[in-house]
């Protein structure tokens, strides 16, 4: 019989498909080549991205800003108690504390983030306040909470009964296995381009289930879990954050696109970087999602099973990403 860990690795990896080209509008054309753009557009990681994108699309389709779309969009998932990897209802750390990481970036390159934040349902909104109201980029733990309360955020208990039960069950063995598995999916990273052509990004998570108290992942690290640059595009990451942090994945993807790679080529190269540099890569899942300034999307992951939600041209869809480890 296979171990629980193997079972989770296998069952956590669902259906597969290939990157699908979107219906595109020909916006500009010169004699040498056509440049197709899709605008507005929003993409986000995993199936729960469908709900988040719906909210983001309301904003984008009525002429709103990408920065508002990426904040309000992921807030839907942060408030969802059934999503056990983000915000309210997120699984706690090994000591029973729900600690949240989030980041946000706007089209001007402004960035804000919070890490190890407790008792606040919407860390992405606190991250936005850090970006807009402070001279800093990142606030951590107690300081982040103090700032959030000063800004009018309400404190609440984020540990739901369901998450508490899962933690109590985990404590029976207390096996610390930092493996991204079926229970640990659904961190949401979102990228949006508005009608004005501006890009913004966000990322929010409760991080790895039963992580060490104080552990911070890639999601709030600008350039690791999320990065965007209005000249080029953006990228977000999901999966075992330590691998993303070691390779500064989202920044890498954006820089590869800056050098002329397509979003798909860029995310594949970023996954290959992990394969080359991190010998134990097979034990973990990593998914990258990228959006260039023309609205082209790239998605790629280590193991079969990563998908992303795309909303453009009034159409919402869930698309399976291609993956590295085959056979
Ligand atoms: C982390 N990258 O904290 C996050 C976890 C994640 O889907 O993406 N889960 O390492």
State the catalytic residue, choosing from 45, 85, 99, 187: 187
CA 189 – ligand 1 centroid, Å: 10
Terminal CA-CA length for the chain: 21
Q: Does ligand 1 come within 6 angstroms of the Cβ of 229?
A: no
Q: Does ligand 1 come within 6 angstroms of the Cβ of 241?
A: yes
Centre a 10 Å sphere on the Cβ of residue 192 and count the other Cβ atoms it contains.
Answer: 32
Q: Which pair of tokens denotes residue 225?
A: 């879990």
**The overall pTM is greater than 0.95:** no
- Determine whether 99 is an active site residue: no
- Mean pLDDT, residues 17-21: 33
Q: Does ligand 1 come within 6 angstroms of the Cβ of 90?
A: no
- Mean pLDDT, residues 297-325: 97
Tokens 């994108």 belong to: 53
Question: Is 19 a residue whose pLDDT tops 70?
Answer: no
326: three-class secondary structure by DSSP: coil
Question: Is 8 a residue whose pLDDT tops 60?
Answer: no
CA distance 253 to 263: 8
CA distance 191 to 236: 8
pLDDT per residue as tens digits for the range 179-197: 554 556 689 999 999 999 9
Q: Which pair of tokens denotes residue 27?
A: 């916006």
pLDDT for res 174: 86
* Atom 6, ligand 1: residue with shortest CA distance: 239
- Mean pLDDT, residues 154-178: 91
Banded pLDDT at 176 (limits 50, 70, 90): confident
- Mean pLDDT, residues 233-252: 97
pLDDT per residue as tens digits for the range 265-278: 999 999 999 999 99
Check: CB of residue 73 under 8 Å from CB of residue 53.
yes
pLDDT for res 24: 40
Q: What percent of the chain has pLDDT over 90?
A: 84
CA 56 – ligand 1 centroid, Å: 22
CA 62 – ligand 1 centroid, Å: 32
Q: What is the 3-state secondary structure (H, E, C) of 65-106?
A: CHHHHHHHHHHHHHCCCCCCCCCCCCCCCCCCCCCEEEEEEC
Question: Is 250 a residue whose pLDDT tops 70?
Answer: yes
- Mean pLDDT, residues 92-117: 98
Question: Is 15 a residue whose pLDDT tops 60?
Answer: no
218-227 per-residue burial string, b: 16 or more CB within 10 A, e: under 16: bbbbbbbbbb
Check: CB of residue 188 under 8 Å from CB of residue 205.
yes
């Amino acid at each position: 019989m296979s171990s629980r860990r193997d079972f989770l690795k296998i069952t956590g990896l669902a259906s597969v498909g290939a990157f699908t080209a979107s219906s595109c509008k020909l916006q500009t054309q010169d004699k040498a080549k056509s440049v197709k753009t899709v605008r507005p557009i929003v993409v986000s990681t995993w199936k729960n991205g469908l709900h988040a994108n719906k909210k983001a699309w309301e904003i984008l389709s009525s002429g709103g800003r990408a920065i508002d779309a990426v904040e309000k969009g992921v807030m839907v998932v942060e408030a969802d108690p059934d999503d056990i990897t983000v915000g309210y209802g997120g699984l706690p750390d090994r000591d029973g504390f729900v600690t949240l990481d989030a980041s946000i970036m706007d089209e001007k390159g402004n960035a804000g983030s919070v890490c190890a934040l407790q008792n606040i349902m919407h860390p992405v909104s606190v991250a936005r306040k850090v970006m807009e109201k402070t001279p800093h980029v990142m606030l951590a733990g107690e300081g982040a909470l103090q700032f959030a309360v000063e800004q009018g955020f309400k404190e609440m208990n984020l540990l739901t009964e369901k998450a508490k039960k899962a933690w109590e069950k985990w404590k029976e063995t207390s096996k610390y296995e930092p493996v991204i598995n079926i229970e640990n999916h659904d961190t949401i990273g979102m990228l949006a381009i508005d009608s004005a052509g501006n890009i913004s990004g966000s990322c929010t998570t409760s991080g790895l289930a039963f992580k060490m108290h104080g552990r911070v992942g890639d999601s709030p690290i600008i350039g690791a879990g999320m990065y965007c640059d209005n000249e080029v595009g953006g990228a977000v990451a999901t999966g075992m954050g330590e691998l993303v942090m070691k390779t500064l994945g989202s920044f890498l993807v954006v820089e590869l696109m800056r050098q002329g790679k397509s979003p798909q080529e860029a995310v594949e190269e970023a996954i290959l970087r992990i394969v080359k540099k991190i010998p134990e890569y097979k034990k973990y899942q990593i998914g990258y999602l990228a959006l260039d300034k023309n609205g082209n999307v790239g998605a790629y992951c280590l193991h079969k099973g990563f998908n992303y939600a795309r909303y453009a041209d009034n159409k919402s869809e869930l698309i399976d990403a291609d993956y590295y480890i085959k056979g």
